[in-house]
């Protein structure tokens, strides 16, 4: 993964581009943008991608797995990003299940996983990773929720070094999953650095809101919650936040 990198000084969105070329592109190719003019986030939101400040990259994967397993790539990416940033900074980087990497309760990284394929076999999976690295400040509406490594660590970090570290971690966890068929090593990291386990969280799915305690992350990468009275449930995705935030 990452032996072949396609780099753009400016691109609309690395995920959009990766989707356009995925069918003719081999497994493991990585698209990197120095800036994105139409960066995309989850739920149809945008992703602010200022030139030279962040990491905006998409990994093209072609695993032999059904689409139902695709969300596992998001867990691998979250774990790899958390470890990669930790190896270069001394910041307390945590994972907010399922998609975000946070510092001091604020988001530094978002992950957007997109795929295409048949019922029992994916054609490709695009894992898009956006990290606020050397962003000096955020527009007012994002200031409360978003942060950067520069703001938290009070210094500039090499994006190149960080990309290498993250792709190395990703490769290890990905190979481990493909060889063993189990997400165990990824889940261990997701649990160790979880921002949610043991906390009261709020889950918003459609227009349903549930307050519950996050008790575990399963081998499959699902969040186990306990509601009042002890009733346990598994959460697949949706919007999850620590209560009060
Ligand atoms: C989120 O909403 O948290 C996900 C943000 C994902 C942003 C990354 S940046 C690289 C890739 N290209 C995109 O257009 N989006 C993802």
Q: What ipTM was estimated for this complex?
A: 0.99
Pairing relationship of beta strands 208-217 and 100-103 according to DSSP bridges: unpaired
Answer whether 46's CB lies under 8 Å from 15's CB: no
Q: Which of 128-132, 138-142, 214-218 has the highest mean pLDDT?
A: 128-132
Could you identify the atom of ligand 1 that is nearest to the CA of residue 54? 9
Name which residue sits closest to atom 2 of ligand 1, judged by CA. 41
At 138 the three-state DSSP class reads coil
CA pair distance 84, 79, nearest whole angstrom:
8
**Averaged pLDDT for residues 41-64:** 95
Q: How far is CA 216 from CA 63, 205, 225, in A?
A: 27, 19, 7
Q: How does strand 30-33 pair with strand 5-8?
A: parallel
CATH of domain 200-242: 2.30.30.100
Mean pLDDT for the stretch of residues 164-186: 97
Residue 245 clears pLDDT 70, i.e. is over it: no
Name the pairing type of β-strands 122-132 and 106-117.
antiparallel
Domain with CATH 3.30.930.10 in the chain: 5-192
pTM recorded for the entire structure: 0.94
Ligand 1, residue 18: give the atom nearest the CA. 12
Taking the C-alpha atoms of residue 235 and residue 186, their distance in angstroms, rounded to an integer, is 18
- For domain 5-192, the question of CATH label 3.30.930.10 is answered with yes
Lowest mean pLDDT among 28-32, 67-71, 82-86: 67-71
Q: Which residues contribute to the annotated binding site for biotin?
A: 13-15, 36, 40-42, 107
Confidence of residue 143 (pLDDT cuts 50, 70, 90): confident
Ligand 1 test: best mutation among 11, 51, 128, 145, most atoms within 8 Å of CB?
Answer: 128
Mean pLDDT for 75-83 is 97
In the chain, CATH 2.30.30.100 covers: 200-242
Output the residue whose Cα is nearest ligand 1's atom 16.
128
pLDDT surpassing 90 at residue 237: no
CB-defined site of ligand 1, < 6 Å: 13-15, 36, 39-42, 45, 47, 56-58, 99, 110-112, 128-130
Q: Tell me the mean pLDDT in the region 186-203.
A: 94
pLDDT at 226 over 80: yes
Which residues fall in the annotated binding site? 13-15, 36, 40-42, 107
């Amino acid at each position: 993964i990452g032996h072949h990198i396609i780099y753009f000084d400016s691109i609309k969105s690395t995920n959009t581009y990766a989707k356009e070329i995925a069918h003719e592109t081999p497994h493991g190719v990585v698209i990197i943008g120095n800036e994105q003019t139409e960066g995309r986030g989850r739920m149809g939101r945008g992703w602010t991608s200022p030139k030279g400040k962040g990491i905006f990259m998409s990994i093209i994967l072609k695993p032999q797995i059904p689409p139902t397993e695709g969300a596992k790539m998001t867990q691998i990416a979250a774990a790899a990003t958390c470890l990669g940033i930790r190896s270069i900074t001394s910041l307390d980087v945590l994972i907010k299940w399922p998609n975000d990497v946070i510092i001091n309760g604020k988001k530094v990284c978002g992950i957007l996983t997109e795929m295409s394929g048949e019922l029992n076999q994916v054609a490709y999976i695009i894992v898009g990773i956006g990290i606020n690295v050397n962003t000096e400040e955020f527009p007012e509406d994002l200031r409360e929720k978003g942060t950067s490594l520069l703001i938290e660590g009070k210094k500039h970090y090499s994006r190149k070094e960080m990309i290498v570290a993250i792709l190395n971690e990703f490769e290890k966890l990905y190979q481990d999953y493909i060889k063993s068929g189990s997400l165990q090593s990824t889940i261990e990291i997701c649990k160790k650095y979880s921002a949610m386990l043991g906390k009261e969280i709020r889950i918003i799915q459609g227009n349903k809101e549930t307050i519950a305690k996050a008790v575990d992350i399963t081998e499959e990468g699902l969040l186990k919650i306990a509601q009042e009275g002890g009733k346990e449930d598994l959460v697949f995705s949706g919007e999850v936040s620590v209560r009060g935030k």
